[in-house]
Amino acid sequence: MVSGERLAVSAINEHRRRQLLDLMAERSWDHLMLYGNNWRTDPFRSLVNFNFAGPHALARLSRSGDLTASVSDPWDYENLADALGSSAVLEPEFAQAFVGGASAIAGLEFMEERFVDACGKLPVSATADVEELRRVKTAEEIDYLKQAADLADRGYQHFAEVIEPGMREFELVAEVEAFLKTNGAADNFMLIASGGTEVVGMKPPTNRKFQKGDSVTTELTPQVNGYYAQICRTLVLGDPSPEQIEAFEIFSEAQRAAQDLIKPGITAADAARAQNDVFRKYGYGEYTGAKYTRVRGHCLGLYPDETPHILEDVDYVLKQDMVLIAHPNTYLPLSGYMVFGDTLLVTESGNTPLNKTEKKLFSK
């Protein structure tokens, strides 16, 4: 086997191609397109796991199994051609990649209007169908997610080592980003917040300087080979106050309630309710709603915030080999906003945490 053939095998998710071909036969689709851009690479990468740097990429799959992959950037084309040979196409005027249309497109919602117009007849959206196939991970995908979770652990260890009073939020994020990229992350989604009871959520970093007594929250979500894993932890600069300790004990109990429950057959709503019921038990039920929190977790994979989201009104049934995070991230008047959660692999009879970082309220 020549080098290019080996690359082609590794670049194409053959399990996913078989699933897509079955889907196309079921839906009577002759052609399926999978579109990705700089914001949402995941529809494209669900079949062709290639880290394109240019603004656009498109995979076109026929019912016969033929595949072409178009990119808009010459550097991407050079690398993609090494992987896919004649199946790779350079389209500097990227609207041309859509000429002739397709029966269905995954990523249709993320496309520019000129691309939709180039298709001619408006295609069907295949986004939800493809996302459903992606939710159950292959052994190879799980291995990538384990690598990403390990890097998230090491990234948080670095976070806890370098943070100091007087450092600015953006300086800490730059330190952590540099560590993750140096150690193999192609990307990282990261949120941070710091302060006391005035902190109501997480956000991109600011110019704020850390102070003694601050609660510092973060989500680290590094990407390895296209796949994101996440860790959420809270750290106090100095000795935690009694209120911070009390709040963290509630968060810890809520996270544990979800982790103890998650297995195939339960719903996303069940996992959310288990967390929210802990806050209700302690009289903080009003802080489980949309005013103070977004979700109680979400799936992970080729996008850092995949659906289904862990919410009480989401009745999606969890399946073996799904990967998700359950995190009771919210505001409490005891402590301000806190976060706590690990990436979990749903197993045959329960779940396995992919993160190894100690489950505690960190302090420095």
pLDDT tens figures, 185-226: 999 999 999 999 999 898 999 999 999 999 999 999 999 999
pLDDT range class, residue 100, cuts 50, 70, 90: confident
Question: What mean pLDDT is predicted for residues 171-193?
Answer: 97
Q: Above 90 in pLDDT, residue 102?
A: no
Q: Above 80 in pLDDT, residue 6?
A: no
Q: What pLDDT score was predicted for residue 229?
A: 98
253's tokens: 């109990």
Q: Which residues contact 55 (CB under 8 A, 6 or more apart)?
A: 37, 38, 72, 73, 94
Mean confidence (pLDDT) of the chain: 94
Asked if 169 and 354 count as a contact pair (C-beta separation under 8 A), the reply is no
Q: Above 60 in pLDDT, residue 1?
A: no
Question: What mean pLDDT is predicted for residues 13-23?
Answer: 96
pLDDT range class, residue 2, cuts 50, 70, 90: very low
In percent, the amount of the chain with pLDDT more than 70 equals 97
Residue ranges and CATH numbers for the domains of the chain are 3-135 (3.40.350.10), 139-363 (3.90.230.10)
Question: What mean pLDDT is predicted for residues 261-280?
Answer: 98
Question: What mean pLDDT is predicted for residues 334-354?
Answer: 97
Q: Above 50 in pLDDT, residue 180?
A: yes
For the chain, where are the E strands, in sequence order?
31-37, 56-62, 67-71, 88-90, 104-106, 124-125, 187-195, 215-224, 227-228, 231-236, 297-299, 306-309, 323-326, 330-332, 336-338, 341-346, 351-353, 362-363
Question: What mean pLDDT is predicted for residues 153-160?
Answer: 98
CB-based burial label for 114 (10 Å; 0-12, 13-18, 19+): exposed
CA dihedral (154, 310, 187, 81) in degrees, to 10, reads 130
Q: Above 80 in pLDDT, residue 9?
A: no
Question: What mean pLDDT is predicted for residues 148-156?
Answer: 98
Q: Above 60 in pLDDT, residue 8?
A: no
Q: Above 80 in pLDDT, residue 140?
A: yes
Q: What pLDDT score was predicted for residue 226?
A: 94
Q: Above 80 in pLDDT, residue 3?
A: no
CA atoms within 13 A on the CB side of 318: 34
Q: Above 90 in pLDDT, residue 45?
A: yes
- 6 or 101: whose pLDDT is higher? 101
Q: What pLDDT score was predicted for residue 249?
A: 98
Question: What mean pLDDT is predicted for residues 165-173?
Answer: 98
Q: What pLDDT score was predicted for residue 4?
A: 35
